Amino acid sequence: MAMAVIWTVMVAASILCGLASGRGEAVAAAALEGAAAGVELCLTMAGALCLWMGVMEVMRRSGLARGLSRLLRPVLRRLYPDFARDEAVMDAVSANVSANLLGLGNAATPLGLEAARLMAKRSPGVASDSLCMLVVCNTASIQLIPATVASLRAAAGCATPFDILPAVWLASALSVTAGVLAAKLMARVWR
């Protein structure tokens, strides 16, 4: 639904704005140009994205994700104190986080949803503090290797698409920290 509104607003705004500024023809031409650019972008991105997904699959199969989730346990116990002793939840959450770290979005979501369902059993219909924390952590990006963005940069002709890695890590870390702190603070005041 949200996308339908956004799409309509975007098209309406560009037609109105284009007509008002006398660029109606340019807007009409741009519509077709944009559609072609969409296909082009997918094609140019495909190579780099395939390569990275391949490397990530090797990481997953070589047990890197499992090792990571063991390392993460102590931190996660503090983030989810209500479920620290619930092995099923802790398993799902740590697998979710390590899949997120490795950029395996498709694998991370089902694991996260499993954790969410288990958490919701204790408080049906209402988001508990732990469930809010789980959602906040999943709305923050914590990938170690942002493959899609790197492919996008490579497609735009960048020779060193990964030179933004330190900046991405710093920004991700700050963003996750802010989300977690906000959740912890709001948990005290929100009823």
Interaction with other proteins in 123-152: which residues (CB under 8 A)? 124-127, 131-132, 134-136, 138-141, 143, 145-146, 148-149, 152
What is the closest distance, in whole angstroms, from the C-beta atom of residue 18 to other proteins in the complex? Answer: 4
DSSP 58: H
Of residues 71, 75, 88, 174, which one binds other proteins by CB under 8 A? 174
Interaction with other proteins in 89-118: which residues (CB under 8 A)? 106, 109, 112-113, 116-117
Contact between 51 and other proteins (CB under 8 A)?
yes
Contact between 33 and other proteins (CB under 8 A)?
yes
Q: Which of 55, 75, 83, 66 is nearest to 162 (CA)?
A: 55
Q: Which of 121, 133, 141 is nearest to 80 (CA)?
A: 133
Residue 184 vs residues 78, 80, 166, 180: alpha-carbon distances, Å? 11, 11, 27, 6
Cβ neighbors of 91 (< 8 A, separation 6 or more) are: 69
The single residue listed with the structure tokens 């090792």 is 67
Contact between 59 and other proteins (CB under 8 A)?
yes
- Region of 20-28, 72-80, 82-90 interacting with other proteins (CB under 8 A): 20-28
